Structures are given as structure tokens and as C-alpha cells.
Amino acid sequence: MAININNLSNNSQVKQKLDQQIQVKQQATQNAASSEQGRSVGKDSVSLTPQAQQLNELQKKASDAPAVDQKKIDQLKKAIANGEYKVDPEKLAASIANFEFKLG
């Protein structure tokens, strides 16, 4: 009587083991795919800070405002043409110095 140590003659058991391993791998793949879908659904969101909202409002106001105050320009042109516009050299020098100080 011969003894089959490795159980090589019984192919059905080997095939069952392989089928079980394939099923386990497929289930693991499906579980990973479904959990990945679950993670991506509903997770993306955007939240603006109050500072960002305030900046957005200021940008809208700035874009709505005219870039040039034409009324002020017309007044200055008229004052210069009539000789009514006077420049204070000390005030002008102080303003230039202040501007330079802030830059440097």
C-alpha cells in the first residue's frame, strides 16, 4: 500500500484551495474599491475664512469704482488754467520725504 505524503493525487482539494485564494483576492479588491469610492464621495469641500470673504468684497467694490475721478480732474484742470491752483513746496517736500521713508 502506497502512502501519498504530498496529497498530489487529490487534484480537487488543490483546485478548491486555489479557488478560495482567488475569491479572497477578488473580495479584497472589491472592498478596497468600494472603500475608495466611499472616501471620495462627499469629502471634497471648500471653506472661505472671514478674511478671504472680506477681501473678496473689497475687490468687488474696487472693481465697481471708477478708476479715475474725472470730476476731480476737471476741477484741477480748471484751477490750474485760472491760476487758482497753488502748490505748497514745504508740504510737497514733506510728502515726498514721507513716501521715500516708507519705501526704504
Domain count within the chain: 1
Q: What is the DSSP letter of 45?
A: -
Q: Say if 94 falls within a structural domain.
A: yes
Higher pLDDT, 79 or 21: 79
Residue-range definition of the domain harbouring residue 102? 67-104
Measured from the Cβ of residue 8, the count of other Cβ atoms closer than 10 Å reads: 8
Q: Say if 8 falls within a structural domain.
A: no
Q: Say if 91 falls within a structural domain.
A: yes
Helix (H) or strand (E) holding 55: helix 50-64
Residues 25-50: pLDDT tens digits?
Answer: 888 888 777 666 655 566 788 888 99
Reported confidence tier of residue 82, pLDDT bands at 50, 70, 90: very high
Q: Say if 60 falls within a structural domain.
A: no
Residue 4's pLDDT is 59
| Range 75-94 burial, b when 16+ CB lie within 10 A, else e | eeeeeeeeeeeeeeeeeeee
